[in-house]
Amino acid sequence: MMDVIAVILLFCGLFFFTGGAVGIIRFPDFYSRLHPAGKLDTAGLLMAMAGMALHTIHDLSMSSLFTGFKILLIVVFVFITSPTATHAIIDAGVRAGLRPWTKKEKEEHP
């Protein structure tokens, strides 16, 4: 039963990762591309790592519980650092003077 949930979670994670990868390619400009890169990877990691942690604590022994805890720590740190990194990159883009993409602008310069 645990394994089934773990596999479902892993697939959900992969779904988010795929969405992130597609988004990085398909979105029109720098800022909007960072949106899937920052958000979907974080969400996908949460799902995938939760699945792995569930798979690891399968036998409920002390050492496997610790391993699962360590896996969850990865999620905690990525949740702190990944949005900060995205913020820093976007900040750098704004400071360098890159303008956000708008539809209007695209019609003017096709």
Contact residues: other proteins, CB under 8 A: 77, 80-81, 84, 87-88, 91, 95
The total number of residues shown for the chain amounts to 110
CB of 30 to other proteins, least distance (A): 19
- Residue number, 21 or 67, with CB nearest to other proteins: 67
CB of 85 to other proteins, least distance (A): 9
- Residue number, 24 or 89, with CB nearest to other proteins: 89
- Residue number, 10 or 86, with CB nearest to other proteins: 86
DSSP string, the chain: -HHHHHHHHHHHHHHHHHHHHHHHHHSSSHHHHHHHHHHHHHHHHHHHHHHHHHHHGGG--HHHHHHHHHHHHHHHHHHHHHHHHHHHHHHHHHHTTPPPP-HHHHHH--
How far apart CA 72 and CA 82 sit, in angstroms, is 15
CB of 18 to other proteins, least distance (A): 28
CB of 66 to other proteins, least distance (A): 13
- Residue number, 91 or 105, with CB nearest to other proteins: 91
